[in-house]
Amino acid sequence: MRRPGLLASTWVLFRKDLLLEWRSRARVNALLFFSLATLLLFSFALGPDTALLRRNAGGYLWLALLLASVLALGESFRVERENATLEGLRLVPVNARAIFLAKAVANAVLLAGLGGLLVPVLVALLDVRIVLPVGQLLGLILLGCLAIAAPGTLYGAIASHARARDVLLPLLLFPILIPALVAAAKGTALVFEGDPMGQFPSWVALLTSFDLIYWGLGVLLFPRVVEE
């Protein structure tokens, strides 16, 4: 019996994670409506000056995604704790790195999908224009969600085994994500308002380097997190 390599295992587990997310799509829907509710909350808390709201729309998008990510990541690992499936995977044996990659990518895809769906909401609710090409916005959203997913998956694994896990995950995650949040929000603001000074690529570069560093750390450290 030859075991599959890292990429093959990752692919199998990624499909499994997507299937799980699809099976619980009621939860995913709830997540979407949670994000909508968050955007409404921001609008009410900080409105009704529409010019102000429009200017800050980028920030609101990423705050909403960040809050939703805590719920999504928590759920992603609650599923694994139910029947100790994470241990079951380790004992197959599956390379722990494959588990990390699959889960992190699945979480990133889920969040990016959510982000994509929120864009038209922003356009409608806050009257934003998309000045730069839409592709750039979608790419930025994907990069930002990758940035959330990597440390989020790592910390999600840790928090799911600790007490007070609902508080611990955001407490651990948010400080780490501040650079990514800054870059993503600024980049999104540029997409909505135009980029006369050509700063967009720099923010993308910051976000990309953040992604590389944190995906590298995640792949490196995740095996230590799940071993006993």
Partner 1 sequence: MSKPVRIGFVLFAIALLVSGAWIGLAWAPPDREMGHVQRIMYMHVPAAWMALLSATMNFGACVSYLWKASWKKDAFAEATAEVGLLFGTIAILLGAIWGRPTWGVYWAWDPRLTTMAILLVAYAGYLALRRFVDDPDRRAVWSAVVGIIIAVDVPVVYFSVKWWKSLHQVQSTPRTVDPQMVIALRWNAFAFLAVLIVFLVTRYRIALAARMRETTVPDAPAGAREAVAS
Partner 2 sequence: MEIRGPEPIGCKNCRTTGSLGANGTWAACVSRRFRTVHLSSNDVELAPALHLHEVSKRYGARWALVRVSLTVRRGTALLLTGHNGSGKTTLLRVLATAVRPSSGKVEILGLDAALEPERVRAQVGLLSHAHYVYEDLSGLENLLVLARLLREPGSAATEALERLGLSPKDDRPVRTYSAGMRRRLALARLFLKRPAVALLDEPFVELDPTGVAELEARIRELRSAGTTLVLATHHIEQGLQLCTDRLHLEQGRSIAA
Task: Name the burial class of residue 116, with classes exposed (0-12), middle (13-18) and buried (19+) by CB atoms within 10 angstroms of its CB.
Answer: middle
87 binds, among partner 2, partner 1, none (CB under 5 to 8 A by kind): partner 2
Which of 79, 112, 183, 191 touches partner 1 (CB under 8 A)?
183
Name the amino acid, one letter, at 106. Answer: A
206 binds, among partner 2, partner 1, none (CB under 5 to 8 A by kind): partner 1
**Interface with partner 1, residue 78, by CB under 8 A:** no
Binding site for partner 2 (CB under 8 A): 1-4, 9, 12-13, 16, 19-20, 23-24, 79, 82-85, 87-95, 227-228
**Interface with partner 1, residue 103, by CB under 8 A:** no
Please, which residues have CB within 8 angstroms of residue 38's CB and are 6 or more apart in sequence?
A: 63, 64, 67, 68
CB of 131 to partner 1, least distance (A): 18
Of 30-38, 59-67, 103-111, 172-180, which part binds partner 1 (CB under 8 A)? 172-180
Number of C-alpha atoms within 13 angstroms, CB side, residue 52? 8
| Closest-CA residue to 186 (of 177, 195, 173) | 195
Q: How far is CA 148 from each of CA 15, 77, 155, 206, rounded to the nearest angstrom?
A: 20, 15, 11, 14
**Interface with partner 1, residue 163, by CB under 8 A:** yes
SS3 (DSSP) at 202: helix
**Interface with partner 1, residue 161, by CB under 8 A:** yes
Name the amino acid, one letter, at 17. Answer: D
Residues that bind partner 1 (CB under 8 A): 151, 154-155, 158, 161-165, 167-168, 171-172, 174-176, 178-179, 182-183, 186, 199, 202, 206, 209-210, 213-214, 217, 221, 224-225, 228
